Amino acid sequence: MKVTVVGTGYVGLVSGACLADVGNDVLCLDVDPGKIRILESGGLPIHEPGLLEIVRRNVNAGRLAFTTDIERAARHGLVQFIAVGTPPDEDGSADLQYVLAAAKNIGRYMDDYRVVVDKSTVPVGTGDKVRTAIAEALAARGAQFEFAVVSNPEFLKEGAALDDFMRPDRIVVGAEDARAIALMHALYAPFQRNHERLLVMDIKSAELTKYAANAMLATRISFMNELANLAETLGADIELVRQGVGSDPRIGWHFLYAGCGYGGSCFPKDVKALVRTGHDAGHDLLVLSAVEEANDAQKRRLVAKITARFGDKLAGLRFALWGLAFKPNTDDMREAPSRVIVDELTRRGADIVAYDPVAVNEARRVFADRYPTLSYAAHPMDAVAGADALVIVTEWKEFRSPDFDAIRATLKQPVIFDGRNMYDPAAMRRHGIDYHGMGRC
Strand partners, 203: none
Confidence of residue 81 (pLDDT cuts 50, 70, 90): very high
At 427, the pLDDT band (50, 70, 90 cuts) reads: very high
User: Mind giving me the DSSP string for 276-334?
Assistant: HHHHHTT---HHHHHHHHHHHHHTTHHHHHHHHHH-S--TT-EEEEE--SSSTT----T
With H, G, I as helix, E, B as strand and everything else as coil, classify residue 392.
strand
Neighbours of 305 (CB within 10 A): 20
What average pLDDT does this structure show over 44-69?
96
Percent of the chain with pLDDT over 70: 100
By annotation, the residues acting in catalysis are 266
What average pLDDT does this structure show over 400-416? 97
pLDDT, tens only, 16-39: 999 999 999 999 999 999 999 999
pLDDT digits (tens, 9 = 90+) for 364-397: 999 999 999 999 999 999 999 999 999 999 999 9
CA distances in angstroms from 242 to 245, 248, 415, 421, listed in the order given:
5, 10, 25, 12
143 near 134, Cβ under 8 Å? no
pLDDT at 105 over 80: yes
pLDDT of residue 194: 83
At residue 35, the 3 state secondary structure works out as helix
State yes or no: pLDDT of 93 exceeds 90: no
Q: What is the pTM of this model?
A: 0.92
Whether pLDDT at 147 is above 90: yes
Residue 97 has pLDDT above 90, yes or no: yes
Whether the per-residue pLDDT at 90 is higher than 80: the answer is no
The string of pLDDT tens digits covering residues 172-222 is: 999 999 999 999 999 999 999 888 899 999 999 999 999 999 999 999 999
Position 94 scores a pLDDT of 86
Q: Say if CB 273 and CB 93 are below 8 A apart.
A: yes
pLDDT at 418 over 90: yes
Beta-sheet pairing, 114-118 with 147-151? parallel
pLDDT for the residue 345: 98
| Position 335 pLDDT exceeds 80 | yes
**Rg of the Cα atoms in the chain:** 24
